[in-house]
Amino acid sequence: MDNDGQHIQDERQGIQSIEVGVPLLAVLADHGGPMMLRDLAQAAGMPPAKAHRYLVSFARTGLVAQDPVSGRYDLGPFSLDLGLACLSRMDVVRTAVPFLERLNDETGETVALAVWGNLGPTFIRWIEARRPVTVNLRTGAVMPLLHSATGLCFVAFMDAAAVREKTGEALELALRGEDQRPPRDRAELDRIVAEARDHGLTRMLGALIPGINGFAAPVFDHEGKMVLAVTVLGPAGLLSPAWGGPIPRALRTTALAISRNLGWKPPARDSGA
């Protein structure tokens, strides 16, 4: 093999020492706090002496830092810089759209993506079902908070003053009898929200559009804040109201995948830790 061929092969092989050391960084990222050398080495599957050599080099570059008192290791300032730089380049909508398209292919139903806008939950992406469905909603439509799966998703999962304010206004209208659809008071809304949180998504059965059922699931960013709602809409005869149906399951999986791509990690109690 000539020198050029050897050079190409070497590039493809990469730097093995980097590949060996990176699991230490991965363990620190997943652990969520400083670790002792022995615990870190064990979790990364390498002897402590070997782990220590890598950690010394990582510390010199700022990828890790060691507490001078406790001796514990944690991610360093350069790791923070890398993470922030990555997040600053991330477009949440651009990240979500391919998942939305796959969900549409998988379910055959109308799927949509919503953000919290100035007027409330607003659709920013809309992919039609493969079959003709009468759903007079499109990109730019603003959903009612209490009477749509999308709106309820923000009520249940977005912790923001604007959501609480809009929810209070909607409940005032309900209490005055201007809208007879449930929920009609705070207690009824609280029950709906509790059920939604138990299932990880929200549901609306024909209340917004007669004959059309809808489910919506939240998407969270790296800080655990809800940033998007993914919604599936379909005819009541085809989109079962069951929480555990195949379409709600596919919806939950999609929202989880988008969230993970945005850097979100589930709470320890949900991840088996």
**Does 96 share its domain with 82?**
no
Question: For the residues 260-269, what does the mean pLDDT come to?
Answer: 82
What percent of the chain clears pLDDT 90, i.e. is strictly above it?
Answer: 62
With 0.75 as the threshold, say if the pTM is over it: no
The model's pLDDT over 28-65, given as tens digits with 9 standing for 90+, comes to 988 778 999 999 999 999 999 999 999 999 999 999 99
Domain with residue 69: its CATH number is 1.10.10.10
**Does 98 share its domain with 181?**
yes
The residue among 17, 51, 86 that closes a domain is 86
* Confidence (pLDDT) at 8: 43
* Confidence (pLDDT) at 89: 64
Domain with residue 235: its CATH number is 3.30.450.40
The residue among 66, 86, 106 that closes a domain is 86
| Residue carrying structure tokens 């309900």 | 174
Contact between 120 and 145 under an 8 Å Cβ cutoff? The reply is: yes
The model's pLDDT over 167-186, given as tens digits with 9 standing for 90+, comes to 999 999 888 876 778 888 89
| Residue span of the structural domain in which 240 resides | 92-270
The model's pLDDT over 93-106, given as tens digits with 9 standing for 90+, comes to 889 999 999 999 99
**Does 10 share its domain with 75?**
yes
What percent of the chain clears pLDDT 70, i.e. is strictly above it?
Answer: 88
The residue among 67, 86, 105 that closes a domain is 86
**Would the pLDDT of 112 be above 90?**
yes
**Would the pLDDT of 6 be above 60?**
no
Question: For the residues 144-166, what does the mean pLDDT come to?
Answer: 95
**Does 10 share its domain with 142?**
no
